[in-house]
Structure 1
Amino acid sequence: MPRGDKAEADGLNEATPHYLGHRERARQRFLSAGEQALADYELLELVLQLLIPRRDTKALAKDLLARFGTFSAVFAAQPAQLAQCKGLGDVTVTNLKIIQAAAQRFARDQIDLKKPILSSWSSLLDYFRSTMAYEDKEQFRILFLDKKNRLIADEVQQTGTVDHTPVYPREVIKRTLELSATALVLVHNHPSGDPSPSSADVQMTRQITEIARPLGITVHDHVIIGKSGHTSLRSLKLL
């Protein structure tokens, strides 16, 4: 049995599963009032009980929240980090990452690709947050758009370190021309959690914009994603 999975099976021999009443009450509150009626640990507990049905998962849910900080951060944690948590075996860790992938796919599918992508801005931000906010390394992502601002491609161009991603403006434009795109949305994350732009972020954005403009390519925005929210360089009038 893989390391940690034995702990998941400990509940098989419990004579009195005392946690069932609490679990059922939480489930009923979810059904009657929705997820907003549950504390983070209660919702996480219900998720965990789907994965570890014969064990009390309340304490485990609280331990995971204490360790990683937020509900979303639990699912975004690296498998190696999750594997260090007592009570999580290899199977459960994999299933948590599957749930994360499903949530990201759901967020992506809320974007209507047949319409101008700027009209789905709120859904787009939800997608960025679900895919990038809790990454432990910086990623630089580009959305390539056509003349009607519909999505041609969504690509992660570079992955860097915890506080830096190398971005080469001419390579960005080269890829834009290869895809026959006429507009861009630039996105990157700050693993520190603070989405405030650095001077290097602003300078790099302006370099890309200056090269793109004579070629008829529009840079709509550069969005920075952090755990605490997001920042738009256009809204800050830095673009």
Structure 2
Amino acid sequence: MSGGDDTSPGLFEAPVTSAPEPHYLGHRQRLRDKLLRNGAAGFADYELLELLLALAIPRRDVKPLAKDLLVRFGDFAGVIAASPEDLTAVPGVKETTVAALKLVEGAAVRLLKGRVAERTALAAWDDLMDYCLAAQSRADVEEFRLLFLDTKKRLIADQAMQRGTINHTPVYPREVVKRALELKAHSVIMVHNHPSGDPTPSQADIDTTQQIKQGLATVDIALLDHVVVSPGRYISFRRKNLL
């Protein structure tokens, strides 16, 4: 009998074999290769969401979860914009998954904001609207925000001023005027969302807009526009001749 530490399988010992890779790993690798080769333009929503979920849940087939989330929230944008409370109500969604989705939402909004940061608001209007839609069109309650502009109509600050209910946000003209003066703004764009999905301005929206316009005019600050957003759509008071 030879000495030493023999680690080879014994006569009655089953040889050690590596477990086969889960079926979804090859699919996931193909998606990654496609993404790196061609970008995300050709991806279906569930494929893009599947890759994102795989970063948060690496040891699980996440395609069924991706499809469940899309059924629940409608599309990719709806998933990443959903509230943490609504997301965790979906079976299989934990805190790490929510963090990954919220990170993507924050990155998207910041990227869109960066496109308008050094350009005049009117020259970058389409990009500005893309930013406003991404930032608040899918909120589940009304949110009122102000875009403060300098003498060249470039963005000084973007601030959420009020958060209300599903169909009402209290806005106080004196607070708008006060903040515009503090920032030395020369003009302002108002933005708020309609969670109902219909961006048509209400009579209350029109009345509030006129009150704020008059208040800003007393200190020589122009109200350039009031934009009402909902998922995928917006209405501009300026373009509708409501200012």
TM-score by length of 1: 0.87
- Name the counterpart of 1:221: 225
Distance 2:217 2:88 in 1: 48
1:3-38 Cα shifts (integer Å, max 9, x gaps)? xxxxxxxxxxx8541122332333343344432311
1:87-117 Cα deviation digits (max 9, x unpaired): 122222222212222222222222233x323
Q: Deviations over 1:32-80 (max 9, x none)?
A: 4432311111111111112212211111100000011121111111112
Specify which of 148, 151, 167 is matched with residue 171 of structure 2. Answer: 167
Contact 1:29-1:37 within 8 A present in 2 as well: no
Corresponding position: 1:199 with 2:203:
yes
User: Residues 137 and 230 of structure 2 are in contact (CA less than 8 Å); yes or no, is this contact kept in structure 1?
Assistant: yes
Please state whether the residue corresponding to 2:217 is helix, strand or coil: helix
CA RMSD, Structure 1 to Structure 2 (Å): 1.8
Take 2:150 and 2:108, find their aligned partners in 1: how far apart are those partners?
27
The structure with the largest alpha-carbon Rg is 2
Return the alpha-carbon distance in structure 2 between the equivalents of residues 178 and 32 of structure 1: 49
Q: Measure the CA separation in 2 of the matches of 1:179 and 1:133.
A: 25
Q: Write the distance in 1 (CA, Å) between the matches of 2:100 and 2:70.
A: 17
Q: Which residue of 1 aligns with 2:94?
A: 89
1:129 match: 133
> Aligned partners of 2:21, 2:157: CA distance in 1, in Å?
54
Which of 141, 156, 160 is the equivalent residue of 2:145?
Answer: 141
Structure 1 stretches lacking a partner, 5+ long? 1-13
- Cα distance in 1 for partners of 2:59, 2:182 equals 54
Q: CA separation in 2, counterparts of 1:58 and 1:119?
A: 41
Map Cα deviations across residues 114-149 of structure 1 (whole Å, 9 max, x no partner): x32322222211211111011111111111112221
Residue 78 in 1 paired to residue 83 in 2? yes
Percent of residue pairs identical = 49
Point out the more displaced range, 212-221 or 130-139: 212-221
Number of residue pairs the alignment of both structures matches:
225
Q: TM-score, normalised by structure 2?
A: 0.86
Alignment map for 1:91-130 (pairs within 5 Å): 91-113=96-118, 115-130=119-134
Letter of the structure 1 residue corresponding to residue 58 of structure 2: P
Cα distance in 2 for residues equivalent to 1:90 and 1:174: 39
Distance in 2, Cα, partners of 1:32 & 1:178 = 49
Partners of 1:112 and 1:90 in 2: CA distance:
32
Structure having the higher helix fraction is 1
- Structure 2 counterpart of 1:210, from 211, 214, 217: 214
Letter in 2 for 1:150: R
Amino acid across the alignment from 1:116 = T
- Conservation of the 8 A alpha-carbon contact between 1:202 and 1:238: yes
Which of 23, 35, 41 is equivalent to 1:18?
Answer: 23
Check whether the contact 2:117–2:154 (CA below 8 A) recurs between aligned residues.
Answer: no
User: Does the 8 Å contact 1:224/1:232 carry over to 2?
Assistant: yes
SS of equivalent residue, structure 1 residue 54: coil
Mapped contact 1:194–1:228 kept (Cα < 8 A): no
> 1: CA distance between counterparts of 2:26 and 2:240?
51
Amino acid at match of 2:159: E
* 2:108 counterpart SS class: helix
Please say which of residues 69-78 and 92-101 is displaced more in the overlay: 92-101
Question: Which ranges in structure 2 are unaligned for 5 or more consecutive residues?
Answer: 1-18
